[in-house]
Chain A
Amino acid sequence: MELKYLFNSLPYIKPELILAASLVIIVVADLIITKKKELLHYIALAGIIAAGYFVLEQFSMNAFAFSSSGNKGMLTVDSMGAFFKGLVLTASFFVFLFSFSSNEINESRSKLGEYYALLFGMILGMFFMISASDLILVYVSMELVSLSSYVLAGITKQSLRNSEASLKYLIYGAVSSGIMLFGISLIFGITGSTNLYEINYILRSPETNRVILLLAGLLVFTGIGYKISAAPFHFWTPDVYEGAPITITAFLSVASKSAGFVLLIRFIKVAFIQNSLNGYWQLLPAVDWKTILLVLSILTMTLGNFAALWQDNLKRMLAYSSIAHAGYMLAAMAVLSNQGLIAILIYFAIYLFMNLGAFFVVMLISNKIGSEEIDNFDGLGYASPFLGVSFAIFLVSLTGLPPTAGFIGKLYIFIALVDAKMFLLSVIMVLNSVVSLYYYMRVLKHLFLRKAEGAPIELKVSFPNAVVLLMLVIPVLVLGLYFTPLVEFAKNSISVLGF
């Protein structure tokens, strides 16, 4: 790679450069500011907003960056990437707002600098993951995300379960990234290239070794499946989500998952596509991705929903529910069409608000009562009707009932499935939603129908927290009724470079 190409490509990674600069600024600010650590919150928010400004630019871009001698680059800048970058930034924006009032974070205030520096490292990694079109960069950016999140999962160091979460995450992560690297090495062995576009070009020739390619594809999927917590690779999710500080849990459940999904979309749509017919992707016959995704999606959603039924810890329950949601999105992916892709984009945008909202309410309540066990939530719906009702809205939306946004998300996945004549999968999805109704409503039963034991607990929501909560509740309600702008926006943002 010539150095002058490197300099020419810098304008394409402006958001990433801003994020890297914010990381350095936060580390320096942490050293300079010794008394008022709260300032770091505002510096971090400013970094996010500045990066967001440059992400907006990228919606109209369509280019390779860091090209080697050929015309295919390490990075692709396209509107789908920009959409997901916006999603990651929105999620981080909310998580930073949560961090203001999280007890767990405030108790370890001396580590606030590291907390934000690592979060920025994670966001930076996600950005590269989203736009990577070279397997080496895919691996490196995934490691950047993973390494930051291992530390963040155990950042408070106060409780034993915190360290447990961190260690478990590290062990699972190390194994799955090793497996993924092996898959990448096999793909490189077959095709002689690490660039997804060149791999696609080489795989089109009939004499590729299908056995090895299937193995390699599955091994790479293991790494991605670990990031999106799809079924056979989900074992870390409940333990890590339960043990990690709740702000990190919320961030992992939305941002980390969305970055993993982009990787999956790019990997399948760029490396394995033959041609696109009426919006349906004709994949190369080498690997039967449709069946793989179909089976895994059914497995993921069923397992997530049924395991969630028995959970008494709310964080753990939300962890299993996030596995189930990954299953729904995998179902949309299995359609292998532009319509399915639009459904994934819509679902993610809605999932962001409802899932972050649910975690925020759990955080606000557990700040007060110091526990996330469902039995300790008895009667709390009346202690603060505002919190209780917003929690109800988020849970109804997560179930997928109208008039909330969750319904619209499920509806579009359903339409995509029915249009592709995948009736079995759509029926299983609806049945799964019915199962999920039970465990979401069980929380509401505890909140509103059970009497609290002992002295009534006072739950006051401070004004800033109320504003943040409203910022999450209003989209969930509005997008449930007036969703055309979101759908149009998603339709305009599905362009993946090259196809």
Chain B
Amino acid sequence: MIEQYIPVFIVIIVAVIFAVATVVMSKLMGPQRPNSEKESTYESGLKPIGTTNERVSIKYYLVAMLFIVFDLEVIFVYPWAVQFKKLYSQIGISIFFSMLVFLVVLELGFLYVYKKGGFKWD
């Protein structure tokens, strides 16, 4: 049983050895002549601005979340619209109403966000 997984273990061991070896070897063998330019944080070649622990306003997350909701809506509606004729001939009018229910529920969510002030930037 366990013998089957020997290749996996070998890969894991090699990965660990490779990772450790590259870091240790470059430390040991590479020339080390640090100066202030080299020591500074790399930020696309520009002078670093601020710290890494930048606090992002929660509004951005709200917008991102709302974007996902409506993005998903399109994901469901688009294939439905493309396949509508075929589905209609197979199943009938209920295929229209099932999407209608979905859209109504989704728009209720939209209404909820609007009413609760989710779109207010300030």
**Quick one: CB contact mask for B17-51 with A, threshold 8 Å, 1 for yes?**
00000000000000000000000000000000000
Question: Interface on chain B toward A: helix, strand, loop, or mixed SS?
Answer: helix
The answer, among B1, B87, B108, for a CB contact under 8 Å with A24, is B108
Q: Is A461 part of the contact surface with B, judged by Cβ < 8 Å?
A: no
Q: Indicate which residue in A3, A31, A209, A210 contacts B111 across the interface (CB closer than 8 Å).
A: A31
- When C-beta atoms are compared, the residue in chain B nearest to A6 turns out to be B98
Residues of chain B with a CB closer than 8 A to A211's CB? 1-2
Check B52 for interface membership: any CB of A closer than 8 A.
no
Q: Is A415 an interface residue (CB 8 A)?
A: no
Name the A residues within 8 Å of B2 (CB-CB): 211
Q: How far is the CA of A255 from the CA of B4 in the complex (A)?
A: 43
Would you call B55 an interface residue if the criterion is a C-beta within 8 Å of the partner chain's C-beta atoms? no
Q: Are A24 and B105 in touch, CB under 8 angstroms?
A: yes
Q: B residues within 8 A CB of A30?
A: 112
Sort chain B's interface into a size bin: 10 to 19
In the complex, the chain A residue whose C-beta lies closest to that of B114 is A31
Q: Is A35 an interface residue (CB 8 A)?
A: no
Q: B1, B90, B94: which contacts A209 (Cβ < 8 A)?
A: B1
Give residues of chain A (202-242) contacting chain B, Cβ–Cβ below 8 Å.
209-211
**CB of A28 within 8 Å of the partner chain:** yes
**B63 within 8 Å of A (CB atoms):** no
| A residues near B90, Cβ cutoff 8 Å | 3-4
Q: Does A7 contact B (CB under 8 A)?
A: yes
Chain A nearest CB from B79 CB (Å) reads 13
Which chain B residue shows the least CB distance to A209? Answer: B1
Contact residues of A between 263 and 288, Cβ < 8 Å to B: none
Interface residues in A1-54 by Cβ distance below 8 A to B read 3-4, 7, 24, 27-28, 30-31
Q: Which of B67-122 contact A (CB under 8 A)?
A: 87, 90-91, 94-95, 105, 108-109, 111-112, 115
| CB atoms of B112 and A4 under 8 A apart | no
Chain B residues with CB under 8 Å of A210's CB are 1
Tell me the minimal C-beta distance from A246 to chain B in angstroms: 26
Smallest CB-CB separation from A113: which chain B residue? B112
| A7 to B111 CA separation, bound complex (whole angstroms) | 29
Count contacts on A: residues with CB < 8 A to the other chain.
Answer: 11
- Alpha-carbon separation in the docked complex, A200 to B36 (Å): 64
With contacts A209-B1, A211-B1, A211-B2 taken as known, whether A27 is within 8 angstroms of B108 at the C-beta atoms is yes
| Given known contacts A209-B1, A211-B2, A27 and B94 CB-to-CB distance under 8 angstroms | no
Contact assessment for A3 and B87 in the assembled complex, using a CB-CB cutoff below 8 Å: yes
A28 surroundings in chain B (CB, below 8 A): 108
Q: What's the least CB distance linking B40 to chain A, in Å? A: 34
B1 contacts A7, C-beta separation under 8 Å = no
Q: Are A3 and B95 in contact (CB under 8 A)?
A: yes
Determine the distance from Cα of A28 to Cα of B104 in the docked complex, in whole angstroms.
Answer: 12
In the complex, what distance in Å separates the CA atom of A58 from the CA atom of B2?
Answer: 46
- A223 vs B109: C-alpha distance when bound (angstroms): 30
Which residues on A sit within 8 Å (CB–CB) of B87?
3
Neighbouring A residues of B112 by C-beta, 8 Å: 27, 30-31
State whether A7 touches B115 (Cβ < 8 A): no
User: Measured between C-beta atoms, what is the minimum distance from B2 to chain A in Å?
Assistant: 6
Q: Which residues of A contact B105 (CB under 8 A)?
A: 24
Contact A7 B91 (CB under 8 A): yes
Q: Taking CB as reference atom, which chain A residue is nearest B91? A: A3
Taking a contact as CB atoms under 8 Å apart, the answer to whether A31 and B91 are in contact is: no
Closest to A25 in B: B108
Complex Cα spacing A165 to B109, Å: 27
- A361-395: which residues lie under 8 A (CB-CB) from chain B? none
Give the contacting residue for A31; candidates B4, B94, B115; CB below 8 A.
B115
Nearest chain B residue, comparing its CB with the CB of A32 = B115
* Given A31-B115, A209-B1, A7:B94 Cβ within 8 A: yes
Chain B residues with Cβ below 8 Å from A4 are: 90-91
The CA-CA distance from A22 to B95 in the complex, in Å, is 23
Cβ–Cβ < 8 Å partners of A209 in chain B: 1, 4
CA distance A140 to B9 in the complex (A): 32
Chain B residue nearest in CB terms to A20: B105
* A28 to chain B: closest residue by CB: B108
A167 to chain B, nearest CB (A): 15
Chain B residue nearest to A3 (CB atoms) is B91
List chain B residues, Cβ under 8 A from A24.
105, 108
Please measure, in the bound complex, the distance between the C-alpha atom of A481 and the C-alpha atom of B105, giving whole angstroms.
49
Minimal Cβ-Cβ distance residue in A for B105: A24
- Bound Cα distance A27, B107 (Å): 12
Q: What are the residues of chain A within 8 A of B111 when measuring CB–CB?
A: 31
Contact with B along A145-174 (1 / 0, CB 8 A): 000000000000000000000000000000
- Given the complex, which residues of A lie within 8 Å of B4, measured CB to CB? 209
Contacts of A31 in B (CB 8 A): 111-112, 115
Separation of A24 and B103 alpha carbons in the complex (Å): 13
B59 CB, nearest partner CB in chain A, Å: 18
The docked-state distance in angstroms from the alpha carbon of A211 to that of B1 is 7
| Closest CB in chain B relative to A150 CB, distance in Å | 15
In the bound assembly, the distance between CA atoms of A209 and B5 in angstroms comes to: 11
CB closest residue in chain A, given B112: A27
Besides the contacts A4-B90, A27-B112, A28-B108, what 5 more A-B pairs have beta carbons closer than 8 Å?
A3-B87, A3-B95, A4-B91, A209-B4, A210-B1
Task: Please give me the 4 A-B residue pairs with the lowest Cβ-Cβ distance, nearest first.
Answer: A211-B1, A31-B115, A27-B112, A3-B91
A residues whose Cβ falls under 8 Å from a Cβ of B: 3-4, 7, 24, 27-28, 30-31, 209-211
A-B contact pairs, 15 of them (CB 8 A): A3-B87, A3-B90, A3-B91, A3-B95, A4-B90, A4-B91, A7-B91, A7-B94, A24-B108, A27-B108, A28-B108, A31-B112, A210-B1, A211-B1, A211-B2
Instruction: Name B residues whose Cβ lies closer than 8 Å to a Cβ of A.
Output: 1-2, 4, 87, 90-91, 94-95, 105, 108-109, 111-112, 115
